[in-house]
Amino acid sequence: MNQLTIAHPLPRTVDIDSLQDFDRRVAQTMRAAEEGRPAGGSMTGWHVQSVDLTERGPELKALKPSGAVFLGCILPAGMEQWLRARGALIFPILPGVPFDAYRGALYSPQELFAGIAERPYEGVPDALIYAWAHTALAPSTASLDATLAAALHDYSIGTALDQALRTFKRRKTVGIMGGHGIERGTDAFAQTALMGRKLAQAGFVVATGGGPGAMEASNFGAYLSSEDDDAAQRSLETLASAPSFRPSVSAWARAAWSVLEEFPTGVRSVGIPTWFYGHEPPNLFATDIAKYFANSVREAVLLDRSRGGVVFMPGAAGTVQEIFQDACENYYGSASSVAPMVLVGAKYWTQQLPAWPLLECLAKEREMEPLIALVDSVEEAVSAVIHLNNRAHDVDETAS
């Protein structure tokens, strides 16, 4: 019988995205070389992303670079040729793009909205990147270098998102979906904010699509979940001075910026927006922002990473699509992969947009059947998330 064998197993990949991490890895591998351990002194499997290595020439020359990958790094003069000649793969800094295609970390609102207090939104990094994407990635004009830059960026963001989620330790991520049209100052915005607040207080990591409306309300509620009710209410009133990102994104963003200035260290939550919908700015209350160019990738990632389940607030076509995209994954999933689904608004989801009856039919006699719920209030939704996660844990224990 013929057997497939791998003569040279693939090396373990090591992602390095800071100078501090690079120095730590160098010290470890040099120590391994001194002790005569395998792979000592080798950079095989190292993926070094966007690190300024101009002062690390001696360290680079002291190591064996074969099998290492350098993405968008700044290297000492002459070092690129030296590394290439010894088996390293070098991805150069891409010219003409207003972003780092190899970034090793997620965005923060302070980075995307840098300068918003002094200049209009159209002049901040988030808007400048969208302006580039709107032209450079348009189907009729997209070039190979622009397409490659966007693809590399999205890959890097995916890696950074998984690294960020690991820092939450064993806390489960719960996605909150809902319409982008919910305005600040409305009861719907306040109730969605209360949802994010209570889920964060219950120990979950709140994740949203990272945009305005219900997404902003959810991230806002999580961000201020460690503050008292008076602080949250006062901040809601501050936001209500600019109810929508239309007609002025600048005014909308500055109202949120003033809340961040008053409360600079809020509770972390995740936003996963897209430049595909550039007319919808990301909200400023998601502390960890995984912004993608490819909307389809962003949607799939958001649902996949919400292992604590997804809460669906009233929304329109986009929210309905997300319900059944999630339902499809759960329909075909194994018992251990199915995540809870909670729809909020019985009348809305049974009469106005009757997604619930179809979801019930899909779930019947499937692994997902005991993990869906239809509720009417925020309090019921939070209770359902907790209860369904406990039930999912029991299913996992039984399956194992």
- Report pLDDT digits (tens) over 184-196: 999 999 999 999 9
Query: Is 180 in contact with 280 (CB distance < 8 Å)?
Result: yes
pLDDT at site 213: 96
Query: Is 84 in contact with 67 (CB distance < 8 Å)?
Result: no
Domain residue ranges of the chain, discontinuous segments joined by +: 14-91, 109-155, 158-399
87-114: b (≥16 Cβ within 10 Å) or e? ebebbeebeebebbbbbbbbbebeebbe
| Percentage of the chain lying above the pLDDT 70 cut | 96
Query: Would you place residue 141 in the very low, low, confident or very high pLDDT band (cuts 50, 70, 90)?
Result: confident
Residue 87 has pLDDT above 90, yes or no: yes
pLDDT at site 101: 95
Section 284-310 average pLDDT: 96
pLDDT digits (tens, 9 = 90+) for 5-28: 444 444 578 999 999 999 999 999
Q: What is the pTM of this model?
A: 0.90
Residue 133 has pLDDT above 60, yes or no: yes
pLDDT digits (tens, 9 = 90+) for 93-124: 888 899 999 998 999 999 999 999 999 999 99
pLDDT at site 208: 98
For residue 314, report the phi and psi dihedrals to the nearest 5 degrees: -55, 135
Section 316-343 average pLDDT: 94
pLDDT at site 347: 97
In the block, residue with structure tokens 């995307």 = 112
Question: Under CATH, which number does the domain 158-399 receive?
Answer: 3.40.50.450
Query: Would you place residue 396 in the very low, low, confident or very high pLDDT band (cuts 50, 70, 90)?
Result: low
First to last CA, the chain: 33
Residue 393 has pLDDT above 80, yes or no: no
Q: How many of the other CB atoms lie within 10 Å of CB of 309?
A: 26
- The type of residue at 131 is A
Q: What angle separates helix 249-262 from helix 229-239, to the nearest 10 degrees?
A: 160
Residue 249 has pLDDT above 60, yes or no: yes
Among the listed residues 200, 389, 207, 388, the one whose alpha carbon sits nearest the alpha carbon of residue 305: 207
Strand partners, 90: 70
**What residue ranges in 234-368 does DSSP mark as E strands?**
270-271, 288-289, 310-312, 341-344
- The type of residue at 169 is K
Among the listed residues 326, 323, 275, 273, the one whose alpha carbon sits nearest the alpha carbon of residue 300: 326
Residue 1 has pLDDT above 50, yes or no: no
- Compute CA 292 distance to the chain's CA centroid, rounded to the nearest angstrom: 9
Q: Lay out the sheet containing 270-271: strands in order across.
A: 288-289, 270-271, 205-208, 173-177, 310-312, 341-344, 372-375
In the block, residue with structure tokens 């990102």 = 245
pLDDT digits (tens, 9 = 90+) for 58-81: 999 999 999 999 999 999 999 999
Contacts 24+ apart (CB under 8 A), 140-146: 145/94, 145/96, 146/97
